Amino acid sequence: MSSPRRERYDDVVVGAGTAGLAAALLLARFGRSVLLLDRAPAPGGALRRFRRGGAAFDTGFHFTGSIQPGELFDHLLAVLGIRGELELVPFDPEAGHRFRFAEADVELELPFGLDRCRDRWQAQFPQEREALNWYFDALRSIAKRTMGMEVGRPLTTFGMLDEDFVSLRSVLDARFRDPVLKGAIGAFAMCYGSPPASVSFAAHARVAFGFHQSGGTIAGGGDALADALARAAERAGVEIGCSCGLESFAPGADRQAGAATLSNGATVAFERCLLTIDPFAILDLLDPLGLTPAFRERVQAFEPSVGFFAAYGIVDGPEPAGFGRSVYSEFAGTDFDAMMDPAYPGDRPLVLIEVPGDPAAGTPPSVSALELSFAQDVAAWAGTRRGRRPPEYRAYKQTRAAAIARRLAGRAPYADRIRWVDTASMLTFRDYQHSRSGSAYGIMLKTGQYGLFGRLPVRNCYAAGQSALLPGVLGAMMSGLFVVRQMVGKEIFDEATAGAR
């Protein structure tokens, strides 16, 4: 971006990931002049893919829940006006997720549909029948009482539930006895990056509900969603400025931010600013404007979620039957508090994601293997930047990739045909996604704690993103929509979006 086309905008949105793109295009549709900024060379953030050896690999978006017609992800795409531009690809309804618990030598296949999964688990764990009835009823209840999660119901004010103050660990220990079943419930921690002792039962339920409803991906992966959002934003009149960030605010009157100075040296005035970036980056931007100690301490108390070490490979030869129809996860034990501790001595949780090839496009089938990782793993090189890291760092990546390959040998029928073409550490994710830590899901979800969302203490600034309400693409999209609802007015927003069903 050379320079903005205007000197003043109604709204400046910082961060062109899922939340920023969704919010920017909606603000523009409400007649606002919008400037959307991102330090990356293209909009999309963690939705963007990269290519190696003719294959396209997703970096942040691999799959999502609630993709069937009338469910939440499908509904949000309709609200944004891009549902017709995307092909949703459902996973196997009988085994969308496969969990293997190595020490127990048990493999579970999870069907989609809350009732169907409950029934299967009750057949596998008959002594837990009543506890499972309670659990799936609780998932439904929490989703129903959470703003925006039940399609077709009027939106209510987002607020904390009683279950937001109870940890998942306390529920597991109070309600269930079988360690494998506890592990199967706790395994969804891999989809939000916080261990059971930290995460509230409500936060767990909001994520697990969607993944129990249905699951799948998008044809073309994250690129397809990023491109659809960017096209819709540009059609709505959003000015997108890439390779450009917001560096600072001038002080304004009445506890507001004044003009914004951009990384290219330009200055723009605005009425409101929406920040969809890392909460610690938000703190850095707003702190010079006179934040209260209480707000500062609240943000400083946030901790990043866990991250992943990723190995990317191409599958040579014929594509196996059923390839790409489910997500395979392997866990050494069943206690996710133990396995999500950096000091855990065993193999770390591993998720294998398969992406079918496209013969028409000449794209081969590929896999992404994601192994749990922590900041401590790469702390020795935290002060380095990509392209300038020492041989020891490269050796670390090679060692972890080789260990992942050994773990998959004998597990995947095509393991001997995987040609590994690249790897990514938490530092890789940090640098490419312009985040503070390289964590997978923004901040860790903690019992009784809530992220930055909505209007901030600097009165013309707002926050959204995956660290606001829920992690992942679904949570980021929800936060973008709901913050716009706050900015333009609830009645106006609800009337304008009422027809999106």
Class of domain 84-133+163-219+304-433: alpha beta
Reported as a single tens digit per residue, the pLDDT across 38-78 is 999 999 999 999 999 999 999 999 999 999 999 999 999 99
Q: In whole angstroms, what is the distance from residue 40 CA to residue 42 CA?
A: 6
Establish whether domains 8-47+223-302+444-497 and 84-133+163-219+304-433 are of one fold: no
Reported as a single tens digit per residue, the pLDDT across 371-391 is 999 999 999 999 999 889 999
Fold of 8-47+223-302+444-497: FAD/NAD(P)-binding domain (3.50.50)
| DSSP secondary structure, 179-202, as one string | HHHHHHHHGGGGGTT--TTTSBHH
Q: Are 16 and 37 in contact (CB under 8 A)?
A: yes
| DSSP secondary structure, 287-298, as one string | GGGT--HHHHHH
Q: Are 118 and 112 in contact (CB under 8 A)?
A: no
Q: In whole angstroms, what is the distance from residue 468 CA to residue 454 CA?
A: 8
Of the listed ranges 148-162, 370-384, 392-406, the least confidently predicted one is: 148-162
Label the pairing between strands 8-14 and 34-37. Answer: parallel
Reported as a single tens digit per residue, the pLDDT across 205-256 is 999 999 999 999 999 999 999 999 999 999 999 999 999 999 999 999 989 9
Number of C-alpha atoms within 13 angstroms, CB side, residue 231? 12
Reported as a single tens digit per residue, the pLDDT across 297-353 is 999 999 999 999 999 999 999 998 899 999 999 999 999 999 999 999 999 999 999
Domain boundaries, the chain: 8-47+223-302+444-497, 84-133+163-219+304-433
Number of C-alpha atoms within 13 angstroms, CB side, residue 473? 31
Paired tokens of 317 = 């030869």
Work out the percent of the chain whose per-residue pLDDT is above 70. 98
Which residue in this structure is represented by tokens 């910082």? 14
3-state secondary structure of 367: strand
Tell me what the mean pLDDT of segment 162-182 comes to: 97
Q: In whole angstroms, what is the distance from residue 115 CA to residue 423 CA?
A: 39
| DSSP secondary structure, 106-140, as one string | EEEEEPSSHHHHHHHHHHH-GGGHHHHHHHHHHHH
Among candidate residues 114, 111, 116, the one with its CA nearest the CA of residue 98: 111
Of residues 254 and 463, more confidence is placed in 463
Helices 472-488 + 490-497 axis angle, to 10: 120
Over 60: is that where the pLDDT of 485 sits? yes
pLDDT-based confidence at residue 495 (cuts at 50, 70, 90): confident
Q: In whole angstroms, what is the distance from residue 112 CA to residue 65 CA?
A: 10
Of residues 481 and 495, more confidence is placed in 481
Q: In whole angstroms, what is the distance from residue 120 CA to residue 289 CA?
A: 55
Among candidate residues 223, 160, 198, 183, the one with its CA nearest the CA of residue 101: 183
pLDDT-based confidence at residue 155 (cuts at 50, 70, 90): low
Three-class SS of 28-47: HHCCCCEEEEECCCCCCHHH
- Measured between alpha carbons, how far apart are the two ends of the chain, in Å? 37
Mean pLDDT of the chain: 94
Which amino acid, one-letter code, is at 432?
Y
Tell me what the mean pLDDT of segment 91-100 comes to: 96
Among candidate residues 484, 458, 489, 467, the one with its CA nearest the CA of residue 11: 484
Over 60: is that where the pLDDT of 289 sits? yes
